[in-house]
A and B are shown apart, each in its own frame.
Chain A
Amino acid sequence: MKVLGAIIVLLFGSLLIYCTLDFPSWGDPASPASTHVSPYYIENTLEDTAVPNIVTAVLADYRGYDTMFETVVIFSAGIACFFLLRSFKRIEPDTRLYRHVPTGITFRIEKGGRYPRESVDFERIDLQWVPHDLIIKTTCRMIIPFIQIFALYVIAHGHHSPGGGFQGGVILGASVIIFAVSHNLRSSTNRISEKNVVLLSTTGVLLYAATGGLCLLLGSNFLDYSALSQIFGVDSVTARSFGILLVEIGVGMAVMAVMISLYYNLASAGKQDEGL
């Protein structure tokens, strides 16, 4: 198997290396890839959409239909992971662990026993619990608001600097994941529950589609944002940049929710009780 695989890989590689002889040399401005359609984008983006970052403009405006279904692909990946792993049978573990916070005593309660009410003093802990690390918890608590502000900045400022819905959404999701890693999964699901995560992801995709549909209702093509000028009361070029911002917010919401949902399902193997 090993030899056969190596032979196949070598054949594949030599074929590709033979093909590189016909390539334009690296960084050639007159290569076929950069002569047909991309000069149009580079030269007309600023006049058409008033967005200096060409990548954002092409992503959300010229190729908005493409990006919409990319978002749908991500959404369906989140849903697929949910249906593969999530177990709806509520299997209670045999024992539960509770911890009395002021004294640090751990209670082990067998099945059938009376569970204490969760409060500031009593907290339920994971079966593989390790003592709290004050340094890590405090640093994460301090750093998470800045991460979220940065993520919102990335989404909103994607017109002028690198960034946009995908990156900002991933960073927002990462802030929640950092919280879940530094505390535990239960305290993270208490703040953003699974239901809310799925709702957010659908809302994101629907916001994208609704922006396109709004353009249809206003008597223009699907995802042609210049029609939005009737609502915002601005000229059609600025309306296109507003439309791009709306779409980016939708993408950001969907991506954030899918990332959180993937982490919840993978880290708890679908049971959503104990994470990493």
Chain B
Amino acid sequence: MDVVVIILLISGLLFFTGGSIGILRFPDFYTRLHPAGKLDTAGLVLTMSSMALYTLHEFSVASLLTAFKIILIVVFVFFTSPTATHAIIDAGVRAGLGHWTKGEK
């Protein structure tokens, strides 16, 4: 059980690190939002499910309820985080922001 928790947690943190590096390293607005939308959601799903497993360590009704609440958080973030990214990118397109092309600084 512990091994699964640790593996999930570390892979989630790996996704978060990738997302942060992507936000810092990518050249323009649209490509920066790409890691922000995808990798954060994936990392959050993995870390949160590892925490849900960890609370199920001592199996009881209360810990089952806590795990259920954590899974609910995952579900809602899974819906809302890509929507927020979509809204930001949509606003960028409407404001007329150009995209990066190869060779530009």
Contact = CB atoms under 8 A, between A and B. Distances in A.
Interface of A: 130, 133, 135-136, 139, 142-143, 146
11 contacts: A130-B94, A133-B86, A133-B87, A133-B90, A135-B83, A135-B86, A136-B87, A136-B90, A139-B80, A139-B83, A143-B79
Of A139, A142, A143, most B-chain CB atoms within 10 Å = A139
Interface residues of B, number: 8
B76 A143 contact: yes
Contacts of B79: 139, 142-143
Of B76, B83, B86, B94, most A-chain CB atoms within 10 Å = B83
Contacts of A130: 94
B71 to A, nearest CB: 14
Interface string B67-105: 000000000100110010011001000100000000000
Given A135-B83, A139-B80, A143-B79, 10 more contacts: A133-B86, A135-B86, A136-B87, A136-B90, A139-B79, A139-B83, A142-B79, A143-B76, A143-B80, A146-B76
Contacts of B80: 139, 143
A139 B87 CA distance: 11
Nearest to A138: B83
A7 B76 CA distance: 49
A142 B86 CA distance: 16
Nearest to B83: A139
A187 B86 CA distance: 23
A224 to B, nearest CB: 35
Contacts of A142: 79
A146 B76 CA distance: 9
Contacts of B86: 133, 135-136
A130 B94 CA distance: 9
